[in-house]
Amino acid sequence: MRRYLFFLILIVVYGFLIAQKNETIVVIKTKYGNIKLKLYNQTPKHRDNFIKLVKEKYYDSLLFHRVINGFMIQGGDPDSKHAQPGQNLGNGGPGYTIPAEFVPTLYHKRGALAAARQGDMVNPTKASSGSQFYIVQGKVFTNDELNYLEQQINQNKKQQILGQLMNTPEYAWLKTKLDSMVKSGNPNAINEFLKETNPIAEKELDKAGRFKFNEEQRKIYTTIGGSPHLDGAYTVFGEVIEGMEVVDTIAKLPTDKNNRPIEDIRMAIYIEK
């Protein structure tokens, strides 16, 4: 029996090592150096789409069009290839989106590769852009900061829940009441409405499940750092394994009012053999 268990464990470990070995490695070339990333097998739709675009040389000559020091660097907008200086970018893509692939164990730690997307108002399913991506630079957080962030995330979640409730027959009266309060001209109408409906929102939030950072997330964000507020909202599908110093360099470049680097930072991406 022990011998059987020993061989079973060996098979599991061997399978894990093979899966790790088969992870695709891609390299982003920039004027400041190379960024090497591995693509996660746990997010196959995003992995396969990224590989497809890389093989088509879709990304070659595109810009890192949005960078925010202490947060992330973003690229993959096809409109950036021939963009004029100062042109606002970030709306381009291949004409399709990718369904979200949220994996609970994949976090927005420093170096995470994730898919950009449109906002929740026009994209409630959180589908990813077909081509735009970002690499997390992030920062290190304290536990107190994470506690505060949990409160903010749950507060936003409650407001979303209220918005959803007002579109159901059972709670249609909420919308009627809100409209009435707004029409009254009372400058504090919204706050009064939120205060009055808070018990309902709290109850529904408990049903849906409150957001809470687990021990692993807290360890990551208080040591390695990252952008924890994005967890569960944007698909993480890879991570940097070499070249974070290049990410840091690009993130610190001077930018315009739209967070576009003043100097064009072009990329070329290839799959490492």
Encode pLDDT of 158-212 as tens digits: 888 888 888 888 888 888 878 888 787 777 777 888 788 888 889 989 988 899 9
Q: Report the C-alpha gap between 22 and 38 in whole angstroms.
A: 10
Q: What is the DSSP string of 62-129?
A: -BEEEEETTTEEEE--GGGTTPPTT-------SS-EE-----TT---BTTEEEE----TTT-TT-PEE
Ranges of residues in the chain with a pLDDT under 50 are 4-19
Q: How confident is the model at residue 2, as a pLDDT?
A: 55
**What's the confidence (pLDDT) of residue 220?**
98
**How distant, in Å, are the alpha carbons of 8, 30, 42, 225, 253 from that of 70?**
45, 20, 27, 10, 12
pLDDT for the residue 17: 43
pLDDT tens for each residue of 47-56: 999 999 999 9
Determine the CATH number of domain 22-139+224-271.
2.40.100.10
Q: What is the pLDDT of residue 175?
A: 82
Q: Are 32 and 265 in contact (CB under 8 A)?
A: yes
Tell me if 80 sits within 8 A of 63, measured CB to CB: yes
Instruction: Provide the pLDDT for residue 9.
Output: 46
Task: Give the residue among 230, 211, 221 at the shortest CA–CA distance from 72.
Answer: 230
Say what the pTM is: 0.85
Mean pLDDT of the chain: 90
Domain boundaries, given as residue ranges, for the chain: 22-139+224-271, 143-208
What 3-state class would DSSP assign to 209? coil
